[in-house]
Amino acid sequence: MKHTLKFISSIFLFFSVFLGQAQDTPEISPNKKDTIVKPKTVTSKPPVQKTEVKKDSVVKTDRYGLRVGVDLYKLTRGLYDKDYKGVEFVGDWRLTKKYYLAAELGYENKTTDDDRLNSSAAGTYVKAGFDYNFYENWLDMENLITIGLRGGFSTFSQDLNSYKIYNPNPYWGELPAITTDQKYSGLTATWLEVAMGLKAEVFDNVFVGFGVQLKLLATNKKPSGFDNLYIPGFNRTYDGSFGVGFNYTVSYFIPIYKKKVVVPEIKEAPKK
């Protein structure tokens, strides 16, 4: 009995000491853990350079090159006019934003049947000058409304086929025409003309155009005995020194190089 009490008292003392030490140790909550907060390193990004775009301007690309074509009117006229054969090639080169170098090269063979004589003129001609485009295109348009000046030169021959002698008193009727075969070669003529026209792009690099020319004859080498009723490139001459012509062309543009230009936008007026 004595040993049993000693054992119980020893156990009780041991638990008392253990509980006392347990109270001295601070309790750590499982939900609360000591965390080390690392400071965030802020890396500064280099400033982004923004390109300035002017809102009141537009960048436009102008194409420069050679445009070549043919006059469809002269090419197809021979299908319905048995007295005419001809062809004309047209071309222009864009020199600046508004100015174009222009030229026409052609051949014509025209028989003129007048009241008193029948003659045929055949020869080649060349016209050269410039055009000014006063049409303001939108961004990617390349249409033209032009006015220009040309100098023309023609070298040709005249065939006198037949003629009639004038009879002031035709009591017995008109005299029959006299058939002849006289040919005059080495004839020349020069003139100036004002050319007005338009060209519109219908497909990529393909243009159709229409033009009118007002002409003033400068020099005219005539054959002996009669006048030049028709000069290749100039048209009819028996209306005086003035002439009129027109063409209907189809042409193809060959771009060579490009230029970029800044076109300012037109600002709308503020509404009142």
**What gap in Å lies between CA 228 and CA 222, rounded to an integer?**
6
Q: What is the pLDDT of residue 18?
A: 44
Q: What is the pLDDT of residue 166?
A: 72
Are 152 and 126 contacting, i.e. CB atoms less than 8 angstroms apart? yes
Q: What is the pLDDT of residue 15?
A: 47
**What gap in Å lies between CA 149 and CA 128, rounded to an integer?**
8
Are 133 and 148 contacting, i.e. CB atoms less than 8 angstroms apart? no
Q: How many DSSP H helices and E strands does the chain contain?
A: 2, 10
The CATH number of the structural domain formed by 57-257 is: 2.40.160.20
Q: What is the pLDDT of residue 72?
A: 97
Q: What is the pLDDT of residue 120?
A: 93
Strands (E), 164-241: 178-203, 206-220, 230-231, 235-236
Q: pLDDT tens, position by position, for the chain (272 residues)?
A: 444 445 455 555 544 544 454 444 444 444 444 444 445 555 555 555 554 545 556 777 889 999 999 999 999 999 999 999 999 999 999 999 999 999 999 999 999 887 778 889 999 999 999 999 999 888 778 999 999 999 999 999 999 888 777 767 766 666 667 777 788 999 999 999 999 999 999 999 999 999 999 999 999 998 887 788 899 999 988 767 899 999 999 999 999 998 887 766 655 555 55
- Structure tokens given for 65: 């090159």
CA 131 to chain centre: 14
- Structure tokens given for 225: 């005995």
**What gap in Å lies between CA 221 and CA 83, rounded to an integer?**
23
DSSP states along 168-180: S--TT-PPPPEEE
